[in-house]
Amino acid sequence: MEPTENFFRSIVEASPFPVYMCIGEDKLIAIANDATLKAWGKDKSIIGKPFDEALPDLKGQPFSNLISEVYKTGETYYGNNEPAEFIINGKRQVNYFKFTFQAVRNSRDKIVGVICFSTDVTEIEHSRQAMEESRHTLYNMVKQAPVGICIINSDNLVIEVVNDSYLELVGRKRIEMENRGIWDAIPEAADLYAPVMDNVIETGQPITAKEHKLLLVRNGIPEMVFIDFVYEPIRGFDGEISAVMVIAIDVTEKFLARRKIEEAEERARLAVEAAEIGTFDLDLITDELLTSEKFNKIFGFERNVPHDLFVKALHPDDIELRDNAHKAALISGKLFYEARIIWPDGSTHWVRAQGKVYYGSINKPLRILGTLLDITEFKHLQQQKDDFISVASHELKTPMTSIKASMQLLDRLIKVDPSSEKIPQFISRGNNSLNKMQQLVDSLLNVSKITAGQLTLYKTNFLASQMISECCDHVRLAGTHELELTGDTELQLFADRQRIDQVVVNFVNNAVKYAPESNRIIINISKQDDMAKISVQDFGKGIPAEKIPHLFERYYRVDTSGIQYSGLGLGLYISAEIIERHGGEMGVESEVDKGSTFWFTLPLN
């Protein structure tokens, strides 16, 4: 029995929290560890004394009676953040404790004493009190604030405090708001703002919006208003979100005034720029179309005509395209399309229409203001280029096939009689020329297919790293550059392997071509959410910032430091089209004298 008691005492003494035990009806203090003595401001001389005699500081406080009650009934008592006053070093001090009084029984199940386990929560309680005081101060400030403020409990979404400015904004009386659920008080705002509230409570991140449109029922009348608002989480002393403070300002008048100014400025700008561009104003309610003189001339009319005559002037094959563009504009707010029109004399012309949709107070489309540009000459030039590409492709295909066949025969000859020292050199030169012709023809054919909408994809599953290793063998064999493959080498792609191979080869060849002084190329494979990303990094001279926006345009070539590079400037254009057809994106980061990183993404599903 003795070792057990010693063991128990050693555990109590080692505890960092106050633990003590009283024995018998007199509540003799049998055990009190150092943490207890420190909390009481006493030393070990009190051990063996009755509780009331040892701790006269606690006279009139409930602890002695609680111990007696537990000793008498055997029922455990739990105290939570209870104050206890002690005189320590001659000064009265109030501390707060979370504690448990529990009966101690002997082997015959008879109560022989009471043990106390406690935790000093003084700092926590002081923080809570300070937080409550701060909260009270905050609520007083809210009531006096000149902007609309409403504080909502995060647990039940009940409105705790709302000021007069907020009541005026939402058109409600105080009795309709205070101590009610926010969405019961303002049900018309629930669909739009309940997700915002939930997100703030869940993430703890504030949300801000400017000129947010909202339909409010103010004083029984529906009104469309524009509001600047902030949803700010309020945290309690424990760090948890206890409420959300909504700050709202009605900016409807400012918004409407600014929109009128913007419309006037837009009209003025269009008038200034309309020298060679036709302008129009389409009333979506009455279908009335107001056009400029230049607009009429682009359509081949000498005067204003009804709207339906302009529509009838469209090429029959392009009417559906125009209608779809107008339908999409009502959703996106932007109108854009290119179409053919037929003049009264029967000639065909190309036009590009662009416009902006303007809405009424209830988000109803009212009108479209826009411009019309004659792009007939541009389309002719584009068609001429496309025709050239098509002709050049077919013209080059025949000699390319002949050279390749000759090279294959010569390759076989080497295997039979490799005595000539010039044969390998001849084959190498021929193959180099053939590869250049092959790349040229492929580029021209791809551009032709892209223009005609005939670039077909044949998607399969394949390992990205294997495809990259195989398609870059020509660089490794040349021995001029070191390729480093990094990242997720086990990533599977579902795409047209041949086309993606073509994109990677283009990136790598450009790195070799435009960074000849740097022999290191890094190819990285990574997964970003539901997309795969492949990037090719070189350490060459980089690309000037003003040239980057044009890199993926057809026929564009980067000319740095006066150096002229071979090629038609089609590689990146074709690559960008291939990635776009896959549903991915392509981009580049570059810094002069530090190199460039070209990248593209592909959907994983």
Q: What is the pLDDT of residue 562?
A: 42
- Residue 322 tokens, joined: 């125009």
- Kindly write down the DSSP assignment for every residue of 555-588, as one continuous string: T-----TT----S-S-HHHHHHHHHHHTT--EEE
The residues facing 368 across adjacent strands are 282, 357
Q: What is the identity of the amino acid at 130?
A: A
pLDDT of residue 564: 40
* Mean pLDDT to the nearest integer, 180-201: 90
Alpha helices in 417-528 (DSSP H): 422-452, 464-471, 473-478, 497-514
| Nearest alpha carbon to residue 76 among 103, 99, 51, 97 | 103
Starting from the edge strand earliest in sequence, which strands make up the sheet with 531-537, in order? 482-487, 520-528, 531-537, 595-603, 586-591
Residue 592 contacts residue 541 (beta carbons within 8 Å): yes
Tell me the DSSP string of 143-187.
HH-SSEEEEEETTT-BEEEE-HHHHHHHT--GGGTTTSBHHHHSG
- Of 248-257, 375-384, 564-573, least confident by mean pLDDT is 564-573
pLDDT exceeds 50 at position 566:
no
Q: Per-residue pLDDT tens for 287-319? A: 899 888 888 888 988 888 888 888 899 999 999
What is d(CA 342, CA 309) in angstroms, rounded to the nearest whole number?
11
**pLDDT in the model for residue 273:** 58
Q: What is the pLDDT of residues 99-144, one digit of tens each?
A: 999 999 988 999 999 999 888 887 777 777 767 666 666 666 666 6
Question: Can you give the pLDDT at residue 334?
Answer: 93
Residue recorded with tokens 């002037």 = 313
Residue 484: CA count within 13 A, CB half-sphere: 9
The token pair that represents 217 in the structure block: 């029922």
- Does pLDDT of 490 surpass 90? yes
- Joined together, the tokens standing for residue 72 give 């008498």
H-helix or E-strand spanning residue 62: none
Residue 399, pLDDT > 50, answer yes
What DSSP letter does each residue of 242-290 carry, written as one string?
A: EEEEEEEEE-HHHHHHHHHHHHHHHHHHHHHHTTSSEEEEEETTT--EE
Q: What is the pLDDT of residue 336?
A: 94
What is the chain's mean pLDDT, rounded?
82
Query: Can you tell me the distance from the alpha carbon of 574 to that of 29, in angstroms, rounded to the nearest whole number?
Result: 89
> Does residue 52 contact residue 64 with C-beta atoms inside 8 Å?
yes
Q: How far is CA 55 from the centre of its chain?
A: 62
User: How many Å apart are CA 307 and CA 291, to the nearest integer?
Assistant: 10
Closest CA to 162 of 212, 154, 170: 170
Q: What is the mean pLDDT of residues 174-194?
A: 89
Residues 6+ apart with CB under 8 A from 153: 159, 160, 242, 243
Contacts of 84-89 with C-beta under 8 Å, sequence gap 24+, read: 84/58, 85/57, 85/58, 85/61, 86/39, 86/40, 86/41, 86/57, 86/58, 87/41, 87/57, 88/41, 89/41
Q: What is the mean pLDDT of residues 272-292?
A: 81
Tokens of 295: 């607009």
* H-helix segments, 453-603: 464-471, 473-478, 497-514, 571-581
Least confident span in 111-115, 264-268, 543-547: 264-268
Most confident of 263-267, 277-281, 390-394: 277-281
Burial 265-297 (b: 16+ CB within 10 A, else e): eeeeebeeebeebbbbbbebeeeebebbebbbe
In this predicted structure, which of 469-483, 554-568, 587-601 has the lowest mean pLDDT?
554-568
DSSP 225-238: EEEEEEEEEEE-TT
**pTM (two decimals):** 0.34
Tell me what pLDDT residue 362 has: 80
**486, 524 contact by CB (below 8 A):** yes
Query: Rg of the chain over CA atoms, in angstroms?
Result: 41
- DSSP β-bridge partners for residue 117: 19, 100
Cα angle 374-377-381, degrees, rounded to a multiple of 5: 140
Q: pLDDT, tens digit, for every residue of 549-560? A: 888 776 655 554
Exposed e or buried b per residue across 8-35, where buried means at least 16 C-beta atoms within 10 angstroms of its C-beta: eeeebeeeeebbbbbbeeebbbbbbbbb
Instruction: Specify the pairing of strand 289-291 against strand 348-359.
Output: unpaired
Give the pLDDT of residue 584.
94
* Closest-CA residue to 289 (of 307, 271, 267): 307
Amino acid at 476: R
Instruction: Order across the sheet with 207-218: list the strands.
Output: 159-162, 148-153, 241-250, 221-235, 207-218
The predicted pLDDT at position 1 comes to 38
